[in-house]
Amino acid sequence: ATFELTYRCNLKCAHCYLTPGDPYEEEMPVELWLRTIRELKELGVFYVTLTGGEPTLHPGFWELIAELNRQNILIRLFTNATTLSEKDIDTLVTENVRYVDISLHGADAATHEAVTGVPGSFARAVETVKRLRAAGVFVNLKGSLLKSNYATVCQMDTYMRALGGHPQLSPVITPKNDGSLEPLAEAVEAPEMCYVYDAYFARQNAEAPRNESKEARPPVAMQCGAGFSTLAVAPNGEVLPCLQLRASLGNVRRNALTRIWHHSPLLLELDGLTSLPVSDCSGCELADYCMRCPGLALIEEGSMWKPNPSACRMAQNSKTASELHHERMVAKRSNTKKNEAQRSPAS
């Protein structure tokens, strides 16, 4: 399960999918979050991700951490790492928070802060990473590859590893929850993707993720567990199949989470679904590169059962970049063999 505790945030990332507005509007009281945690335990949930906004800015953050630990529920924290003091990190360790995901969008302050819009955010994040790693906490370092930083992808990977973190670098950028396409202005296009493939995927000894067993796949495969293995709770109490799929299943202000989970009509519709009834996607040449999301389709097209244009664009860019990279690698190997043959002594 995922708890979207708050929309409060102290950074100003241009590619953020959250909609600007009053971050405090209709925020649930701590008592209701505590009740929801206990209901999660009844449902057999053993793993919760805390996110936002910046979740550490929620006034009941530490109380919720303590309750999750009391209920023996594993905690994963998504944070920008700018608010945690040394004492806070000690508390996270005491409360058995062993997995922390931190946003880091550059290998230096200038690059990172061009994304976050806040001076000093890089130094604070890096210091937090060092303290967490020293305390034995596993840290995922997540960087969004944007037009402003894609050319530093290799430096980012190297720096993240030097900090002791696990790099997760992605060019995937999504529209805002209200349907605004503004964040996509930051997304890389095919030329930038070509650079990323040549410089980074080649370095990792891998090309773009491909599904080679195309014949065995359903026409439009479900690529996530939204609605049957996951759920999310928004700051106002709305229960969602996942944070990207903003289709309300109910609200914990009005009904118990257990009742919502067992009786929501949409969950019953999604339960056990292995493929999506999206006729427009069947047979698409981009299928091997596509990360179609029913939640984004709902935001962009008003229906979960339609293609979502941002995924189509990303798939086309990935296909173009991957094919160009492959062609260059084939040509490079061919030239290498030719040069080796020319250097070999005549028999």
How would residue 93 be classed by pLDDT, with cut points 50, 70 and 90?
very high
Q: Is residue 215 part of a domain?
A: no
CATH number reported for the structural domain that contains residue 43 in this entry: 3.20.20.70
Higher pLDDT, 281 or 8: 8
More confident residue, 41 or 275: 41
> Is there a domain that residue 92 lies in?
yes
- Is 46 among the domain residues? yes
Query: 250 - beta bridge partners?
Result: 239
Closest to 195 in 3D by CA, of 146, 241, 238, 131: 146
Indicate if the pLDDT at residue 297 is higher than 80.
Answer: yes
**pTM confidence score:** 0.85
Q: Residue 280 corresponds to which tokens in the numbers above?
A: 């427009």
Question: Which is nearest to 220 in space by CA: 131, 281, 296?
Answer: 281
Residue 202 maps to a domain: no
Average pLDDT over residues 151-177: 94
Express as a percent the part of the chain with pLDDT over 90. Answer: 54
Q: Give the pLDDT mean for 29-50.
A: 96
Residue 20 maps to a domain: yes
Residue 217 has pLDDT above 70, yes or no: no
pLDDT at 207: 41
As a whole number of angstroms, the distance between CA 193 and CA 92 comes to: 37
**Mode of pairing for the β-strands spanning 138-144 and 99-103:** parallel
Burial 287-306 (b: 16+ CB within 10 A, else e): bbbbbbbbbbbbbbeeebeb
pLDDT tens for 244-265 read 888 899 999 999 999 999 888 8
Residue 165 reports pLDDT greater than 50: yes
| Strands ordered across the beta sheet of 166-170 | 166-170, 138-144, 99-103, 74-79, 47-51, 2-4, 232-233, 238-240, 250-251
User: Higher confidence at residue 286 or residue 48?
Assistant: 48
| Residue 213 in this model has a pLDDT that exceeds 50 | no
Residue 264 domain flag: no
What's the pLDDT score for residue 327?
82
Separation between Cα atoms, residue 152 and residue 238, nearest integer Å: 39
At residue 22, the pLDDT reads 56
288 in a structural domain: no
Most confident segment among 6-15, 184-193, 222-231: 6-15
Which pLDDT does position 130 carry in this prediction?
Answer: 98
pLDDT of residue 101: 98
Asked whether residue 209 is assigned to any structural domain, the reply reads no
Judge whether residue 161 has pLDDT over 80: yes
- The residue range of the domain holding 151 is 2-188
The span from the CA of 218 to the CA of 279, in Å, is 12
Percent of the chain residues topping a pLDDT of 70: 87
pLDDT at 215: 41
18, 34, 6: which is closest to 244 by C-alpha? 18
pLDDT tens for each residue of 106-146:
999 999 999 999 999 999 999 999 999 999 999 999 999 99
Which pLDDT belongs to residue 244? 86
Q: Is 216 exposed, middle or buried (0-12, 13-18, 19+ CB in 10 A)?
A: exposed
Q: pLDDT value at position 209? A: 45
Closest CA to 106 of 146, 166, 79: 146
How many structural domains is the chain composed of? Answer: 1
